[in-house]
């Protein structure tokens, strides 16, 4: 509607593709978020969503595949973790507690350090909710990582190489994995990572896909549209910078 358009123009939020819900002005006004998640966001000191969060959170919650570009430091991590945690926690709350807990979401990043940062933030925002995480990166024993997954987690955060290594050696049931996040997608779909990322993607049952980067090259943009159709593009900031 008009109000959303005015807001987008003011915040330099550009949306291309299907119709998506307008930007949210506060976390608490986002009706689908569990109350405990909103409390955790406030406890983390996030008084207001950043522009990318205002638009990407409701768009992701509406189930769209997203390709999002926004500057470094603009809060992209929470802009995918909030909808991921919300969808995972709501899924668990709607299912019987005795059902086997298979991973519901997966976040891939290019480095161990980034994975650790993402997992730390996920743990902080997911506190008190049915939301456990597993880190799958090199440098730590794989035995502990697979044990944790088998005990039941909602989110796996990992690097592509280590994750393929783990999936090749162990049986991980991925048929409930409904969200696939590529952080730093510009890097993740470059030669070198691309084949590994695609191999993991093909092991998932048609998940919603959320992709984030500070910049997105035309080549990577083309790659993403060959992976999935109906991608909504969200970019924040001046166009054509
Ligand atoms: P990006 O991935 O876009 O480079 P990050 O997600 O790492 O940025 O966020 C940068 C910093 O901003 C982090 O320290 C994060 O905790 C903080 N942050 C994220 N969202 C908010 C918010 N809504 N309010 C205040 N700080 C925030
Ligand atoms: Mg980031």
Q: How far apart are CA 58 and CA 50, in angstroms?
A: 13
Q: Which of 75, 113, 157 most suits a substitution to test ligand 1, by most atoms within 8 Å of the C-beta?
A: 75
Q: Output the pLDDT for position 97.
A: 82
Residue written as token pair 């019987």: 96
Contact 52, 75 (CB under 8 A): yes
Helix (H) / strand (E) element for 230: namely none
Which residues hold their Cβ within 5 A of ligand 2, which is an ion?
76
Question: Can you read off the two tokens belonging to residue 85?
Answer: 């945690």
Asked if residue 108 has pLDDT above 60, the reply is yes
Asked if residue 241 has pLDDT above 60, the reply is no
Q: Tell me the CB-side half-sphere exposure of residue 240, using CA atoms within 13 A.
A: 0
Confidence of residue 96 (pLDDT cuts 50, 70, 90): confident
Question: Can you read off the two tokens belonging to residue 109?
Answer: 């990043």
Q: Output the pLDDT for position 1.
A: 76
pLDDT digits (tens, 9 = 90+) for 173-185: 999 999 999 999 9
pLDDT digits (tens, 9 = 90+) for 127-167: 999 999 999 999 999 999 999 999 999 999 999 999 999 99
Average pLDDT, integer, range 10-14? 96
Residue written as token pair 């730590």: 140
Average pLDDT, integer, range 191-212? 97
Average pLDDT, integer, range 77-90? 98
Average pLDDT, integer, range 85-106? 94
Ligand with an atom nearest the CA of residue 77:
1
Predicted TM-score of the model (pTM) = 0.97
Q: Output the pLDDT for position 110.
A: 98
Query: Ligand 1 pocket by C-beta < 6 Å: which residues?
Result: 46, 48-50, 53, 70, 72-78
Q: How far apart are CA 234 and CA 227, in angstroms?
A: 17
**Pairing relation of β-strands 155-158 and 105-108?**
parallel
Average pLDDT, integer, range 185-206? 96
Q: Output the pLDDT for position 231.
A: 97
Ligand with an atom nearest the CA of residue 109:
2
Average pLDDT, integer, range 101-128? 98
Q: Output the pLDDT for position 240.
A: 55
Tell me which range, 18-22, 31-35, 206-210, is most confidently predicted by mean pLDDT: 206-210
Contact 154, 122 (CB under 8 A): no
pLDDT, mean over the chain:
96
Predicted complex ipTM: 0.99
Q: Output the pLDDT for position 138.
A: 97
Q: Output the pLDDT for position 201.
A: 98
């Amino acid at each position: 509607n008009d109000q959303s358009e005015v807001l987008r123009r003011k915040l330099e939020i550009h949306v291309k593709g299907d119709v998506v819900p307008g930007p949210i002005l506060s976390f608490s006004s986002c009706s689908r978020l569990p109350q405990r998640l909103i409390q955790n966001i406030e406890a983390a000191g996030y008084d207001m969503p950043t522009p990318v969060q205002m638009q990407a959170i409701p768009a992701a919650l509406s189930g769209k595949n997203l390709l999002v570009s926004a500057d470094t430091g603009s809060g992209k991590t929470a802009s995918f973790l909030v909808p991921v945690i919300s969808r995972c926690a709501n899924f668990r709350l709607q299912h019987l507690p005795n059902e086997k807990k298979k991973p519901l979401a997966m976040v891939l990043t290019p480095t161990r350090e980034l994975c650790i940062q993402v997992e730390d933030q996920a743990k902080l925002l997911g506190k008190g909710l049915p939301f456990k995480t597993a880190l799958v990166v090199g440098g730590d024993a794989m035995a502990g990582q697979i044990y944790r997954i088998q005990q039941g987690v909602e989110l796996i955060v990992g690097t592509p190489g280590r994750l393929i290594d783990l999936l090749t050696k162990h049986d991980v049931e991925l048929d409930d994995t409904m969200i696939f996040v590529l952080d730093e997608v510009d890097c993740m779909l470059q030669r070198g990572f691309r084949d590994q990322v695609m191999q993991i993607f093909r092991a998932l049952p048609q998940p919603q896909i959320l992709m984030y980067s500070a910049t997105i090259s035309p080549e990577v943009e083309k790659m993403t549209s060959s992976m999935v159709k109906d991608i909504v593009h969200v970019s924040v900031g001046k166009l054509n910078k």
